[in-house]
């Protein structure tokens, strides 16, 4: 599952993200062809065991029995092995995983639907780009030159590729909401803004604009302010923190690994925010043409007023150069197709992501639960539906098994498919997404078997009914809907691959076991997977898919919940 960006700044995922967290879909992009995957021998497919049909068959239940803990373990033992090196997007292990999934789809009797790939119709290649800061960024105020990662640093996907003269405009805290606007009466289009970090505070230190003593969105994360500035047409933003307890040098040192690490974007993708830089108090004083005493006096008045006040500062120009360098690389989704019978033009997608975090500080992050469990599940589902098709009991609607890349980096594989679908999205009836289904979270320790189901009635009320009906008849799990709450701070609905279908108004259901102590840690290993629970959850997805694929009428989009 994708890491939200704000958490990534604080710890290795618990990362941050998102992206991620709003996901962008840009169907107009047409990336160049990806390079061939890394050379490796794909493990030989192993056929699932045959189950004898009952005399009076409930074919739904019969083929669901093909989904077993043993078979799930077989797949996961490959995908979560050290040989796959943590399956980092675009690297050897991720290519190995995509090829393994493709080979298993073929062995299960599924067809490769990617006609545009003459080399392997089970793979959908596309291009991403590594994005990193160039060498020797510079910032100069007057005759004083300041140092990168000592006096200033940048965040985000944009910078200044050549030395640029900047005349900053001070806009206070850079906040705009009902009853409080730092932008009132100001036009900032094309300008470079100097913005205070944080938000106004009461004498006891609690935020003026927050609720219950908690910070508002303006105080939690710079991104809200940067996005607002970009929406108003600002060219760049420089953030500064003058709070007495702020320690810029310590913050810069703590964030240095994340700042220097490359990020990933779609090939040709343009940044959706203005360049964002953070400067030390010393740089801030120089830009304001002021000193600590005068600035603190102004901040005291600002907090006491609980509203924006005119600033007494005359800002100084600066010169800045901090380029973002793009390096393209290739990656791929893996697809397997089961053609339906009388309703074959309509397609149900069953998805998971096969990428993970790679190798960090010499440790392999195997991602057995995230999302080796989901990938193994859809492979076993593909085998079950493939056998049903081969034995004359295939689904009425077609099924597309979609194993995507780049989820951890920003839901890129599902974004690419949604922008470049193999089957028209208007004929895609739903996406059932499986991301982390092999463990138990703290909230359910010692309780009956469960699964979180997220988003199942946000677009189509019938999908939630289908999940519940399948569960009542077959799997008898505790279905937990707590993460459907729009106010839930985890925002899981926006953090996995189903979301790129949801933004296209395609009904989705996300099956999830919740996070645990090994989430995004090197300790997320196969030895900790609870295969009996994984089997039950995978069977619930199968039974739901059987219903959606075989019902008379396709799911109706009849809702628009947050």
Give the β-pairing of 343-353 and 276-279.
Answer: unpaired
Residue 28 confidence (pLDDT): 34
pLDDT score, position 7: 41
Rounded Cα gap, residues 7 and 30, in angstroms: 31
CA distance 444 to 143: 61
CA distance 353 to 374: 7
Of the candidates 347, 339, 283, 289, which has an alpha carbon nearest to the alpha carbon of residue 147?
Answer: 283
In the predicted structure, residue 22 carries a pLDDT above the cut 50 = no
Report the alpha-carbon distance of residue 508 to residue 506 in Å, rounded.
6
C-alpha–C-alpha distance, residues 283 and 139, integer Å: 9
Domain residue spans of the chain: 62-127+329-550, 135-322
What sign does the CA torsion over 480, 486, 492, 495 have? positive
**Block residue for tokens 């995978």:** 538
The C-alpha angle 454, 493, 517, rounded to 5 degrees, equals 85
Write the pLDDT tens digit of every residue in 93-104: 999 999 999 999
Question: Looking at domain 62-127+329-550, what is its CATH homologous superfamily?
Answer: Zn peptidases (3.40.630.10)
Most confident of 9-18, 196-205, 211-220, 283-292: 283-292
Distance CA 290, CA 515 (A): 48
pLDDT value, residue 10: 36
Q: What would the pLDDT profile of 189-247 be if each residue is shown by its tens digit?
A: 999 999 999 999 998 889 999 888 889 999 988 999 999 999 999 999 999 999 988 89
Q: Is 111 exposed, middle or buried (0-12, 13-18, 19+ CB in 10 A)?
A: middle
Q: Each residue of 342-393: pLDDT tens digit?
A: 999 999 999 999 999 999 999 999 999 999 999 999 999 999 999 999 999 9
Measured CA to CA in angstroms, residue 438 lies from 3, 108, 366 at distances of: 19, 23, 14
Q: Regarding predicted confidence, which is higher, 57 or 259?
A: 259
pLDDT band at 487 (very low <50, low <70, confident <90, very high): confident
Measuring CA to CA, which residue among 331, 315, 337, 274 is closest to residue 108? 337
Q: How many CB atoms lie within 10 A of CB 38?
A: 13
> What contacts 169, CB < 8 A, 6 or more positions away?
186, 188, 191, 192, 193, 194, 315
Specify the pLDDT at position 56: 53
pLDDT for 45 equals: 63
Q: Is the pTM of this model over 0.75?
A: yes
- Three-class SS of residue 153? strand
- Helix (H) / strand (E) element for 470: namely helix 461-470
- What's the CATH number of domain 135-322, 3.50.30.30, 3.40.50.410, 3.40.50.300, 3.40.50.10490? 3.50.30.30
Yes or no: say if 255 and 152 are a contact pair by the CB < 8 Å rule. Answer: no
Contact predicate 159/133, CB 8 Å: yes
CA-based torsion, 228, 234, 237, 240: positive or negative: negative
Q: For residue 419, is pLDDT > 50?
A: yes
List the single range of 9-18, 105-114, 298-307, 359-368 with lowest mean pLDDT.
9-18
| DSSP SS3 for 310 | coil
Say how many CA atoms lie within 13 Å of 76 toward its Cβ: 32
Helix axis angle for 69-79 and 374-390, nearest 10°, is 130
Give residue 20's pLDDT.
Answer: 35
| pLDDT, mean of residues 524-542 | 98
DSSP helix/strand/coil, 131: strand
Amino acid 212: pLDDT: 85
């Amino acid at each position: 599952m994708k890491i939200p960006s704000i958490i990534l700044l604080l710890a290795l995922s618990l990362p941050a993200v998102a992206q991620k967290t709003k996901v962008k879909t840009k169907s107009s992009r047409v990336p160049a062809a990806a390079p061939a995957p890394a050379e490796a021998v794909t493990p030989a497919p192993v056929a699932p065991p045959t189950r004898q049909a009952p005399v009076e068959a409930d074919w739904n239940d019969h083929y669901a029995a093909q989904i077993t803990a043993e078979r799930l373990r077989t797949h996961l033992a490959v995908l979560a092995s050290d040989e796959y090196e943590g399956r980092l997007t675009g690297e050897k292990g991720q290519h190995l995983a995509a090829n393994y999934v493709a080979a298993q789809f073929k062995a299960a009797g599924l067809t490769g639907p990617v006609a545009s790939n003459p080399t392997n119709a089970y793979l959908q290649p596309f291009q991403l780009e590594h994005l990193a800061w160039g060498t020797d960024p510079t910032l100069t105020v007057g005759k004083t030159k300041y140092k990168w990662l000592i006096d200033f640093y940048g965040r985000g996907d944009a910078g200044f590729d050549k030395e640029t003269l900047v005349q900053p405009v001070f806009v206070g805290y850079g906040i705009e909401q009902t009853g409080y606007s730092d932008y009132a009466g100001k036009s900032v289009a094309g300008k470079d803004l100097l913005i205070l970090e944080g938000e106004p505070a009461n004498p006891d230190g609690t935020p003026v604009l927050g609720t219950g003593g908690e910070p508002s969105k303006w105080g939690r994360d710079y991104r809200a302010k940067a996005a607002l500035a970009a929406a108003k047409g600002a060219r760049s933003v420089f953030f500064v923190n003058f709070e007495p307890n702020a320690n810029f040098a310590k913050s810069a040192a703590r964030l240095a690994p994340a700042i220097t690490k490359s990020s990933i974007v779609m090939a040709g993708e343009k940044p959706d925010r203005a360049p964002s830089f953070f400067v030390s108090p010393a740089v801030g004083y120089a830009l304001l043409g002021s000193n600590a005493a005068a600035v603190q006096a102004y901040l005291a008045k600002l907090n006491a007023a609980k509203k924006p006040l005119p600033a007494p500062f005359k800002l100084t120009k600066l010169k800045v150069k901090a380029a973002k360098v793009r390096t393209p690389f290739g990656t791929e989704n893996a697809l397997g197709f089961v053609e339906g019978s009388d309703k074959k033009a309509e397609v149900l997608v069953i998805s998971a992501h096969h990428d993970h975090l790679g190798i960090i500080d010499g440790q392999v992050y195997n991602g057995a639960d995230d999302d080796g469990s989901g990938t193994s599940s859809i492979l076993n589902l593909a085998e079950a539906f493939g056998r049903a098709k081969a034995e004359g009991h295939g689904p009425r609607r077609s099924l597309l098994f979609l194993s995507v890349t780049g989820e951890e980096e920003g839901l890129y594989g599902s974004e690419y498919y949604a922008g470049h679908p193999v089957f028209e999205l208007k004929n895609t009836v739903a996406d059932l997404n499986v991301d982390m289904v092999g463990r138990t979270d703290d909230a359910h320790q010692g309780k009956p078997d469960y699964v979180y189901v997220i988003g199942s009635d946000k677009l189509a009320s019938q999908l939630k009914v289908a999940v519940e009906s399948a569960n009542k008849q077959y799997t008898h799990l505790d279905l937990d809907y707590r993460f459907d709450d729009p106010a839930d701070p985890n925002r899981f609905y926006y953090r996995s691959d189903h979301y790129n279908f949801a933004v296209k108004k395609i009904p989705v259901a996300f099956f999830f076991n919740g996070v645990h102590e090994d989430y995004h840690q090197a300790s997320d290993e196969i030895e900790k997977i609870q295969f009996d629970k994984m089997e039950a959850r995978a069977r619930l997805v199968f039974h739901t898919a059987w219903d959606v694929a075989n019902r008379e009428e396709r799911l109706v989009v009849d809702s628009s919940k947050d």
